[in-house]
């Protein structure tokens, strides 16, 4: 169930956290909406266990809201800490999920889920090399205006390139029959950032591939 909750977190914090939510993050109602989306995703992804574990999922959602509130307060006062706070924030989110899983295992025992863990972990790998990494790289390059502009221009084509590398690994491993994604536009056309972007995408994709090799092995 840990990986189901990690998948829910990635969807809620990266794919479904829109620019509007980010801009309005100081509004408690908007932050509550963000936490509510997390709760709904967790509720759906834990499958049949939801009837038993929903109070723990609600606790996770409230913890997420409180943690984001604290992070927003810190970054508003110290914008220079935005990168550090992002890394610490994500670490604490995953740590909190681990604590809740530990409580569940000790109090209720192992609980079933409707998802096969292999597909959950494949979904995590694809989310990591697409939306999660795009937002992470954008955040860490806020001061590099030229590269940030390039990131936004090549957003989807670079996502597709990283996804293609992961797809190639899955095809070779015969864990899926899905075809290799086609890169319709060249995300490395700009010479100034070609090497940097290419090495970054290869490194991130290799990290996801190593994760899948461990998960599927």
Q: What domain count does the chain have?
A: 2
Domain boundary among 79, 114, 149: 114
Question: Do 33 and 83 share a domain, yes or no?
Answer: yes
Question: Which residues span the domain enclosing 27?
Answer: 2-114
Query: Quick one: average pLDDT of 185-190?
Result: 63
Question: Do 162 and 195 share a domain, yes or no?
Answer: yes
- 23's tokens: 């801009």
Domain boundary among 56, 80, 114: 114
Question: Do 192 and 159 share a domain, yes or no?
Answer: yes
Question: Do 56 and 151 share a domain, yes or no?
Answer: no
**What's the pLDDT at 182?**
42
pLDDT digits (tens, 9 = 90+) for 28-71: 999 999 999 999 999 999 888 888 888 999 999 999 999 999 99
Question: Do 126 and 95 share a domain, yes or no?
Answer: no
Question: Do 86 and 25 share a domain, yes or no?
Answer: yes
pLDDT digits (tens, 9 = 90+) for 107-154: 776 555 444 577 888 899 999 999 999 999 999 998 889 889 888 888
Question: Do 193 and 124 share a domain, yes or no?
Answer: yes
Question: Do 22 and 102 share a domain, yes or no?
Answer: yes
Domain boundary among 114, 130, 145: 114
**What's the pLDDT at 180?**
43
Confidence of residue 174 (pLDDT cuts 50, 70, 90): low
pTM for the model stands at: 0.83
């Amino acid at each position: 169930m840990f990986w189901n909750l990690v998948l829910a977190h990635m969807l809620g914090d990266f794919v479904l956290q829109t620019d509007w939510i980010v801009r309005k993050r100081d509004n408690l109602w908007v932050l509550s909406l963000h936490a509510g989306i997390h709760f709904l995703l967790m509720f759906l992804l834990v499958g049949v266990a939801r009837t038993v574990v929903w109070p723990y999922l609600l606790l996770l959602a409230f913890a997420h809201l409180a943690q984001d509130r604290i992070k927003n307060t810190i970054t508003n006062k110290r914008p220079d800490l935005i990168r550090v706070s992002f890394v610490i924030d994500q670490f604490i989110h995953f740590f909190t999920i681990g604590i809740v899983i530990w409580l569940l295992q000790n109090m209720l025992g192992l609980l079933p889920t409707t998802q096969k863990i292999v597909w959950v972990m494949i979904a995590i790998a694809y989310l990591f090399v697409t939306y999660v990494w795009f937002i992470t790289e954008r955040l860490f390059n806020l001061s590099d205006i030229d590269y940030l502009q390039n990131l936004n221009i090549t957003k989807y084509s670079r996502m597709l390139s990283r996804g293609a590398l992961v797809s190639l690994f899955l095809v070779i491993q015969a864990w899926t029959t899905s075809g290799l994604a086609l890169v319709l536009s060249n995300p490395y056309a700009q010479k100034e950032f070609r090497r940097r972007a290419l090495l970054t995408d290869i490194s991130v994709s290799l990290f996801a591939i190593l994760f899948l090799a461990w998960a599927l092995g």
